[in-house]
Structures are given as structure tokens and as C-alpha cells.
A and B are shown apart, each in its own frame.
Chain A
Amino acid sequence: MYSFQPSEEQQMLVGAIKRYALDDLRAAARDADEEGRLPPELIEKGWELGYLQASIPEAYTGFGERSAVTGVLAAEEMAYGDLSGALAVMTPGLYTTPILLAGSENQKKELIPPVIEMEWKPYTAALMEHRLDFDPHELETTATLDGDAYVLTGEKICVPFAEGAQGLIVYAALESVTQGFIVPGDADGLKVGERHKLLGLNALPLYPLDLDGVRIPKANRLGGGDAEHDMAPILAASNVALAAMAIGVSQAALDYSMEYAKEREVFGVKVAQKQAIAFFIAEMGTSIEAIRLLVWEAAWMSDQGMAEAYKQSYLALSGASDTAMMVTDRAVQILGGHGYIREHPVEMWMRNGRGFATFSGLAIV
């Protein structure tokens, strides 16, 4: 059957996140962007909503089951408030979800519970590298087996909360195959560089990370054993998360510019009454709705364990990235010169929106 109605539980979760997204994240977003800092209590409050905890089974001290569909619903609402804040609240998931998806039973039992205790803690992951054609399937960071340890060497970028991280998953090429490795935050040879300055995501602390022969026990390879773990479900979980957030940012930009257009007078009518603007709005709304369904479907396919899920997640992110750019750009256009002024959030959304084609691995549901 086709059905487009979220369950009651999902609606409740989305409702709670929406309130937080608007009352807290959105309210703090401009200052956070300007100051390059998210207040810890803001992140804490988002953490207390318990989205991640609810996606982890009781056996690992959570109180639910992972559902990518619930995940994309949550991620969209979170990003509707503010993308930097959303990514920050959800950062520990970069660590727990890959363990849940590809880790051994031991890894799940040992590594997940400390992360999902009461307080939000900086657990993170490192995937991206500084190359114009960065490709998660062809990493330059390498892992080599040396006796009973893996040695990780290379340079990573855009690692959220790398400074002070308690643990992270580092993705590296093991004999040319991308694999995840669990690295303690205080491992020798791990060096956090100077915080990035980017086009957007100014509030989110992102760092480069130097791995200079970091040795970790053999058992720290994701999956625990010698067998290769499948990267596709992890990348699919990242693709749908980012795609959902792109839709959240797009919806925020649409709603904001639509409200503006209904207030702003031009030639004796509201600017929204002009077809040039009304058609913009119709197309923005239509694309958002169409691509949102593509994201939902990709997430649903992941939950069903379908082989096509990874490809579908890739298509969803591709579509969502384009939609976010188109919609945020038009939102700025609808506000005219005012859209260019930092008093309004649309210029920030336009900067953040451009990033979705690049943000590989920055979010996971």
C-alpha cells in the first residue's frame, strides 16, 4: 500500500521537535551564526527530546528501534529550525548509528550506552577529505594492519566537535575499501587542527583532523572481526538524513519568504499577488513536496532492507540538494534587497543550502 500519513508516535515526535526547532533553534540561529557558537544549553535541550535515544533498542540502553523514516521526519523538523543547531544536536548519532548498523554485538553493547546517557557528549565521525572530487568510496586516508592493530594515516576535514571529542569513527581505505574504525578521542597521533571557516554552518564547530599513524586495536574495526562491513547502509543513512535536512531548510525558506510576500506592498497590492512571485512560490512548494516524498521513499526502502535503497538515497540527496539551492535562492530573491541583509535569515539559509552537495557524512539518521 501507499500511505503518506506518519504514525501517531511519529507525529508526536515531529510536533515536539518542531516546537524546539522554532522556539529554541530558530530563535538562537542568527546570533549563533554570527558568534560561531551554539550555547551548550541549547544543544542539551534538543538532546533531551530523545530522538537518538528512541532510535536505539533497549538491549543497548535506548528505548526504541531505529527507523530511517522516523529519522528523516525528525531531521527535517530539526533543520527547519536551524541547520547548524540540528547537526550539533544530532552529532552523537554519527557515532552510534554506524555502530548500530555495522558494529558487532560487543561493540553495540559497550560503545553505545555511554553516548546516550543523560547528557549530550561529543561523539563524532570523520569521513570528508580536502579534495575537490572527494569521494567516500575512494578515501586517501588509509588503514593498514600491523600485527594486532590497525594504523590510521591521513587528513580528515569537517569533523564536528573534534575538539574534545570522546570518541569518533574514522573512515579510511583498507586495501582500497572504505571501512569504519572506532577511535578513542585521546588516541595518540590524533591532532585536531584549527577550526574551519566556511561559507555556511558558522555555528557548528567543524575541524580538520590529522591522523599520524594512529594505532587502534584490531577489534576496533567496525564489525569487530576481519570481515568487510557494508558501507552502503551507512552512506544511505547519511544521504537520507542530509536530504531531509535540505528539505527542512527549504521549507523554512519557503515559509519565511511567503509570509514576507504576503505583508510587503508593491504598486498597491501585496507582492505575493504578483504572478511572478506567486509562481515562484508555487514552484518552490511543489518541488519541496515532490522531493520530500522521494526522501521518505528512500528512507522507507532502507528500513525495508531493499538492495536499491542506497541508489535511491543518492537520488534523494541529489534532488534535495538542488531543491535547497533553488528554493533558498528564490527566498532571497522574493525579499529583494532585504533578503541580502543579515537581519533576515534567508541569506544564511542560502549559504547553508549550498552545502548539501558537499556535506557527506555530516548527518546520519
Chain B
Amino acid sequence: MIEFSTPKPIEQLQNVVETVAVNMMRPVSREMDENEHTIPWNFINFMHTAIKSMGGTSMAPESKKEEKPNAEREKRPSIGYQRLGSLVEMLAWGDAGMYLCIPGGMLGSAAVAAAGTPEQKQRFLSRFSGDKPVFDAMAMTEPQAGSDTSAIRATAVLDEKTNEWVLNGEKIFVTAGHKALEESDGFVVVWASIDPQAGRAGMRSFVVEAGTPGCRVTKMEHKLGIRASDTVSILLQDCRVPFENILGSPTVEKTTTGFKGAMATFDATRPIIACQAVGIARATLELVKEKLAENGIEIRYGLPRQKLTNIEREVIDMEVMLRSAWLLTIKALWMADNKIHNPKEASMSKVYAGDIVVKITQKAVELLGPLGYSRELLLEKWFRDAKITDLYEGTGQINRLVVARNMLGYRGSELR
């Protein structure tokens, strides 16, 4: 059955989170943007308590779902990813930068939840339900390696005497790395090669906990947008972590199955970035319509295009883009919930939502004229925030490659 109604529990959650967004995020949005690297502790502490009171350890759905007995799980279809996506959409509607400051909600915990053993999940994820907020991060990008992850130079060598992995390398663009390593007892999931000759087959991820000697934050970036969120560089110098901190198999197989398994994390995380894009786009469109209404401009739906004003046409196009992006995204998440293989749809949602939020915010600044360009409104901030969604978790271009390979049935070597 084809159906388009938001599940009741998600609707209730959206109502609660909207209140949070309106009361805890929007009022400090401008201040956080103007004072880069200020940490929104009030909001963070509030969210920490809220997530704990809802019985969660982190925002990643996998970590909770597996605790439930099978019988209960089969009773009704799982909506964990759809729920998470709806939550993220609303938080990004509030403030995309502050959303990234939520404890336990980043890619590090997602990677542990997706690829960790039960013991690893217990060791690394339980910290999120303690008294203090704890943060996590993922370190993949290097100065010379962005989307081309096979170019990663960081290494992990096993010291058999101590049974420790020794990590060396430099990581950049680590979202929330400062909060994870220096502001809490968190961790960073670091990508490194256990066999540089093996290419992607040798790529593994390692949990590096805060306070581990040889791991330090070397730089905090100054960015176009999402300024409430820290983006850092991390230097690993003979950084030793226990053998048990490796996620996935410690040996190099001839195949890239392990690497592909890790890449599968993106099937869940890319639609989540799309949700952020949709949230920013919705905030923007709502503001545009509000300002137009204040100026007595009404959108006349149903007219032939020949009769529409330019502003009406623009707003209608924005509505088409926004709604279709949301549906494409919720479908990718619905597939994840229903265990349907979704790499194509996950990348499609990110390509499309990243595109439309950039178009919508750019057009909105133009449509509102001097109001749009002024820092009086949050619109110019959303214009800056929006762009990140077309860049991180794979640029729009790398995701187009993923979509095209899936559509054409090409391997990476056939479509570079």
C-alpha cells in the first residue's frame, strides 16, 4: 500500500522538538553564529537530559533497536531511521549549527552502532547516558584525501608486544572533534590503513578515546556557516589504542568487503544530511512566505504559469523542490528501516536535497532584497549554513557518481 501519513509517534516527536527549536535554538541562533566556537551549553545540557529521559543513549537508531526482542520488532514495521530523520529535519529547521552540537548524535556513534560488536557498543556507547554530555566524531578526511578515500595516508600498525594499534597521520574537517576530545570524555572514530599496499581493502576504523596520548586537536576551522559547530584538525603521533578498538576485521582480506561494509554506513547517514538540508529549506521557505504575506503578496496556486507573477512562480518552484526532496529522503530512510538495499536512493536524496536547499536559500536572499541580505534576519545565515549539506558526507558530485554507477550498473573502476 502506498501511504503518505506521518506515523503518530513521529508526529508527536516533531511537536516536542519544534518547541525545543523555537525556544532553545532560534533565540540564540544569531549569537552563536556571531561568536564562532562558543559552545551552546544550555542547549547541549537540555538535549542531554532530554535524550536520557527518552531512554536513549544516542540518536543512532541501531543501538536501541537491537535490544528489543525479535517478536516485538516484527509486530510493526520499524520506523527508527524515519524517526531520526524527522528529528534531524526539525532540529536543522531550528539551527543547523547547533544541531551538530547535540551530544552522542554524530557519525562516530553511528559508525560504532553500525559496525561495532556488542562489547564495543557497550564500551563506547554507554558513556552517552552518563551525567555529563559526551560527544563523538568521525575523522576520515585528510589534507590530500577527501571523497577519494583510497588516498588516505593515516596508518595503523599492530604492536604485537603490547597488542595495541599505533596510529599515525593527520585528519582534517572533523565535525565536533573539539567537543569529543577536549570538552568531554568522548571519542573519535579514525580511519586508517592497516596495510597501505592493500588500498581500500586495508582501510579500517578505530575508536580513539579522549585523553589518549598522541592524539590532539591542532586547529579549529573558521567557516562560511554552521559556526556553532566546531570543525577541527587532529594529529595522530604514535597514538596507541587497545587492539579491541578496531571496528570490523583486524586482518586484510583480498576483497574490499570490509571497506564496502564501512561505506554502507553512508546509506543511513546520507539521507540524514538530506534531512538537514530539508530542514534549512523549510525554514527558509516559511520565512519567505511570511515576509511576502506581510507585504500583502499572496501566492495564487492553481493558475496557469502565464498568469503567475515571477515571485509566485519562484515560490511555487520552491514548494515543489522542498516537498519532493522530503519525500525522496523519507523514502530512502523508509528503505533503511525496511532493510531494503538503498545506496542509490540514499545518494539521490543527498544530491537532490543538497541542490534544492542551495537553490532555495540563494533565491530567497534575492527575493527578500535588502531584508534578505541583512543580518537582521536569519535568512543570510541559512544561505551560508545550507551550502555545507552539498559538501559533507560526500559532495554533490561524488554522490552523483554513486547514483550514476548504481543506475548504469558500473563499478568504481568503470565510472571514475
With known contacts A290-B327, A301-B4, A2–B334 Cβ distance under 8 A: yes
Q: Which residues of the partner chain B approach A258 to less than 8 Å between Cβ atoms?
A: 407-408
Closest Cβ of chain B: how far from A344's Cβ, in Å?
19
Residues of A254-308 contacting chain B, CB below 8 A: 258, 261-262, 272-273, 275, 278-279, 281-283, 285-287, 289-291, 293-294, 296-297, 300-301
Q: Which residue of A lies closest to B344 (CB)?
A: A285
- Return the CB mask of B308-343 against A: 1 if under 8 Å, else 0: 000000001101110111011011001100000000
With known contacts A2-B334, A4-B2, A279-B400, A293–B302 Cβ distance under 8 A: no
CB-based contact B320/A293 at 8 Å: no
* Residue A1 CB within 8 A of the other chain: yes
Q: How far is the CA of A137 from the CA of B7 in the complex (A)?
A: 36
With known contacts A262-B408, A285-B403, A290–B302 Cβ distance under 8 A: no
CB-based contact B302/A311 at 8 Å: yes
CB-based contact A281/B328 at 8 Å: no
Q: Which residue of B lies closest to A6 (CB)?
A: B2
Q: Which of A17-25, A32-40, A128-136 contacts B (4 or more CB under 8 A)?
A: A128-136
* Residue B6 CB within 8 A of the other chain: yes
Q: Which residue of B lies closest to A278 (CB)?
A: B404
Closest Cβ of chain B: how far from A185's Cβ, in Å?
29
* Residue A315 CB within 8 A of the other chain: yes
* Residue A111 CB within 8 A of the other chain: no
CB-based contact B1/A282 at 8 Å: no
Q: Which residues of the partner chain B approach A360 to less than 8 Å between Cβ atoms?
A: 304
Q: Which residues of the partner chain A approach B400 to less than 8 Å between Cβ atoms?
A: 278-279, 282-283
* Residue B382 CB within 8 A of the other chain: no
Q: Which residue of A lies closest to B6 (CB)?
A: A2
CB-based contact A290/B325 at 8 Å: yes
The residue from A132, A296, A310, A312 contacting B306, defined by CB atoms under 8 A apart: A132
- Return the CB mask of A306-331 against B: 1 if under 8 Å, else 0: 00001110111011001000000000
Q: How far is the CA of A272 from the CA of B416 in the complex (A)?
A: 11
Q: Which residues of the partner chain A approach B254 to less than 8 Å between Cβ atoms?
A: none
Q: How far is the CA of A360 from the CA of B302 in the complex (A)?
A: 11
Q: Which residue of B lies closest to A296 (CB)?
A: B2
CB-based contact B415/A286 at 8 Å: no
Q: How far is the CA of A137 from the CA of B303 in the complex (A)?
A: 8
CB-based contact A293/B3 at 8 Å: no
CB-based contact A1/B325 at 8 Å: no
* Residue A56 CB within 8 A of the other chain: no
Residues of A133-157 contacting chain B, CB below 8 A: 133-135, 137
Q: Which residue of B lies closest to A277 (CB)?
A: B404
Closest Cβ of chain B: how far from A76's Cβ, in Å?
13
- From B4, B334, B397, B408, residue with most partner A Cβ within 10 Å: B4
Q: Which residues of the partner chain A approach B408 to less than 8 Å between Cβ atoms?
A: 258, 261-262, 272, 278, 281
The residue from A2, A135, A286, A293 contacting B303, defined by CB atoms under 8 A apart: A135
Q: Which residue of B lies closest to A321 (CB)?
A: B305
With known contacts A2-B7, A4-B2, A293–B404 Cβ distance under 8 A: no
Interface of chain B, main secondary structure: helix
Q: Which residues of the partner chain A approach B303 to less than 8 Å between Cβ atoms?
A: 135, 137
Q: Which residues of the partner chain B approach A319 to less than 8 Å between Cβ atoms?
A: 320-321, 324
Residues of B121-160 contacting chain A, CB below 8 A: none
With known contacts A272-B408, A282-B403, A319-B324, A314–B2 Cβ distance under 8 A: no
Q: Which residues of the partner chain B approach A262 to less than 8 Å between Cβ atoms?
A: 408
Q: Which residue of B lies closest to A279 (CB)?
A: B400
CB-based contact A290/B352 at 8 Å: yes
* Residue A219 CB within 8 A of the other chain: no
CB-based contact A291/B331 at 8 Å: no
* Residue A69 CB within 8 A of the other chain: yes
Q: Which residues of the partner chain B approach A1 to less than 8 Å between Cβ atoms?
A: 3, 5, 7, 77, 79
Q: Which residue of A lies closest to B353 (CB)?
A: A290
With known contacts A133-B306, A134-B304, A285-B348, A290–B2 Cβ distance under 8 A: no
Q: Which residues of the partner chain A approach B5 to less than 8 Å between Cβ atoms?
A: 1-2
B interface residues, how many (CB within 8 angstroms): 47
* Residue A214 CB within 8 A of the other chain: no
Q: Which residues of the partner chain A approach B414 to less than 8 Å between Cβ atoms?
A: 273
Q: Which residues of the partner chain A approach B215 to less than 8 Å between Cβ atoms?
A: none
- From A275, A315, A316, A322, residue with most partner B Cβ within 10 Å: A315
Closest Cβ of chain B: how far from A359's Cβ, in Å?
12
Q: Which residues of the partner chain B approach A286 to less than 8 Å between Cβ atoms?
A: 328, 348, 351-352, 403
Q: How far is the CA of A37 from the CA of B404 in the complex (A)?
A: 38
CB-based contact A294/B327 at 8 Å: yes
CB-based contact A285/B334 at 8 Å: no
CB-based contact B319/A315 at 8 Å: yes
Q: Which residues of the partner chain B approach A293 to less than 8 Å between Cβ atoms?
A: 324, 327-328, 331
Residues of A14-55 contacting chain B, CB below 8 A: none
- Return the CB mask of B62-99 against A: 1 if under 8 Å, else 0: 00000000000000010100100000000000000000
CB-based contact A290/B328 at 8 Å: yes
The residue from A3, A132, A272, A279 contacting B2, defined by CB atoms under 8 A apart: A3
CB-based contact A278/B401 at 8 Å: yes
Q: Which residue of B lies closest to A285 (CB)?
A: B407
CB-based contact A279/B334 at 8 Å: no
With known contacts A278-B408, A290-B325, A315–B320 Cβ distance under 8 A: yes
CB-based contact B403/A296 at 8 Å: no
The residue from A133, A290, A300, A314 contacting B3, defined by CB atoms under 8 A apart: A300
Q: Which residue of A lies closest to B299 (CB)?
A: A311
Q: Which residues of the partner chain A approach B323 to less than 8 Å between Cβ atoms?
A: 294, 297, 312, 315
The residue from B6, B316, B324, B403 contacting A291, defined by CB atoms under 8 A apart: B324
11 A/B residue pairs, CB under 8 Å, sorted by A: A1-B77, A2-B82, A3-B2, A4-B331, A235-B302, A262-B408, A275-B416, A278-B400, A278-B405, A315-B320, A318-B317
- 8 nearest interchain CB pairs? A293-B327, A278-B404, A319-B320, A290-B324, A282-B403, A282-B404, A133-B306, A282-B400
Given known contacts A315-B320, A318-B320, what 5 new A-B pairs fall within 8 Å (CB)? Answer: A135-B303, A262-B408, A289-B328, A290-B328, A293-B327
